[in-house]
Amino acid sequence: MSEIVMPRLSDSMEEGTIIRWLKQAGEQVARGDELVEIETDKATMTYESDIAGVLEILAQEGDTLPVGSPIANLGDGAAADGGAGGDGPVSTTDAAAAPVADAPAVPTAAPGAIESPATARPAADVPPPAAPVAAPAAAAPLAGERVKASPVARRIARERGVDLAVLRGSGPGGRIVKADVESAGASPAPAAPTAAPAPAPAVASTTAPVITGEAGTGKGEVATTELTRTQSLIARRMAESRATVPTFTLRATIDMSACVALRAGLKASGAPVVPSFNDLVVKACAIALAEHPKANGAYKDARFEHYSRVNVGVAVAADGTLVVPTVFDADRKGLAQIASETRALAERVRSGEITPPELSGGTFTVSNLGMFGVRSFEAVINPPQAAILAVGALEPRPVVRENAVVIADQMDVELACDHRILYGAEAAEFLARIRQILEAPLALAL
């Protein structure tokens, strides 16, 4: 019997939450089958089985477990036929395991999985794997075929009682995405014998805030909402940042007139991809980071870390949380490529299809609230990064030039720095370089 443990799905993941088992207990699992949906500190991911066998579930839906904790066992059909594989340690947890049926030989060895010795119990009377899931006869996909849907779409469908089998997906390859489920929930679904309104009470218990308190109190009734895994992680990391990082902030106003002219010229030329002003800021930061290694580093465990790659994270707000996807090697990419990547990443964040690798590896962060009319703000450093740039609104303002008042496009920025690695003068030089590039943006096109 092989043991499946909570996988590490991101570089900062310490624990994960079981959102949904995609296979039933006692069901035959083939190598490569989608096994379970796990919510990490970055996103909700579908974990695929590396081995075959009969599933015994140890961790229930909703359980939060540290990385490496057992979440399931796969029966001897996979472990006994693994051949010369088996890099993992030997399992000692088969004393209380349920009997399993024989499975076909699959010559695989699961990385990170734990195999048991050849003293597994004999097969028991478990029915052969005829139908993996009891799919409804009406509006169902082909027999044995699982509905293709994103993890977020599956969660919303489960909460709202929407049958995914009757939906038509608008995503790539017909995949059902969040918008498909929401539109189905907003309008009555086609009549189907399997779409019963019974799950409705469960929706209220999982999505509606819990009302507590007495009507006569000064605050009235109190609605409490449980934090998601991502929200909990953000709360903990931001509190740790404020409590442990000695932060100082530098402020500057950048004349963006040349950038406005550059972007207008790109629009007029019919360029297939026109970068946003935030894309210009990302590229300017990437150039300056390559020239100032300390700003592209970190203070970690009483050491300085300097990174050879310049990976700029771009903060994106979505579904009541904040996610920071990464533009890798931003200093080596052109404006058009950065613009295409940032748009694609933001869309994947909002659709819930972003993956942990796309949220990892950042060496610096840009956070922009200018689109909300915010002129300036102080961002919280994302540890262990050395700094974060907060970008405010770009707006026309009166300025003095050659003893005359003129109107120019101005933008305020604030650079929050970790004083343990970035000192005042070094941070000022770094910010001045960003300002210099944006005020003479010819370097952005090189």
Residue 118 has pLDDT above 50, yes or no: no
User: At residue 325, does pLDDT exceed 80?
Assistant: yes
Report residue 297's pLDDT band, with 50, 70 and 90 as the boundaries.
very high
Structure-token match 């027999």, residue found: 143
- List, in sequence order, the alpha helices (H) in 116-217: 151-160, 178-186, 200-207
Instruction: Give the CA count within 13 Å in the CB-facing half-sphere of 161.
Output: 16
At 414-425, the pLDDT tens digits run 999 999 999 999
Q: Which residue has the tokens 């734990």?
A: 114
Distance (Å, whole) CA 390 – CA 401: 26
Residues 94 and 116 sit within 8 Å (Cβ to Cβ): yes
**200 vs 241, more confident:** 241
* CA-closest candidate to residue 194, choices 246, 237, 138, 144: 138
Q: Average pLDDT for residues 86-93, to the nearest whole number?
A: 40
Domains and CATH numbers, the chain: 2-134 (2.40.50.100), 230-445 (3.30.559.10)
Look over the chain and give the mean of its residue pLDDT values, rounded to a whole number.
79
- Tell me the per-residue pLDDT of 349-403, one tens digit each, with 9 for 90 and over: 888 888 888 988 999 999 999 999 999 999 999 999 999 999 999 999 999 999 9
- Residues above pLDDT 90, as percent of the chain: 41
Q: What is the largest CA-CA distance in the chain?
A: 93
Query: Is the pTM for the entire model greater than 0.75?
Result: no
**Closest CA relative to residue 415, chosen from 259, 254, 238, 273:** 254
The answer to whether 253 touches 412, Cβ cutoff 8 Å, is: yes
pLDDT higher than 80, residue 21: yes
DSSP 421: T
Catalytic one of 276, 419, 428, 436: 419
Q: What span, in angstroms and rounded, lies between the C-alpha atoms of 300 and 421? A: 10
Q: Which of 30-34, 177-181, 395-399 has the lowest mean pLDDT?
A: 177-181
Q: Say what the pLDDT of residue 171 is.
A: 67
Give the DSSP H/E element, type plus range, for residue 393: strand 387-401
Residue 313 in this model has a pLDDT that exceeds 90: yes
**pLDDT at position 123 over 60:** no
Annotated active-site residue 419? The verdict is yes
| pLDDT at residue 67 is higher than 90 | no
d(CA 154, CA 419): 44
% of the chain exceeding 70 in pLDDT: 74
Where does the pLDDT of residue 151 fall: very low under 50, low under 70, confident under 90, or very high at 90 and above? low
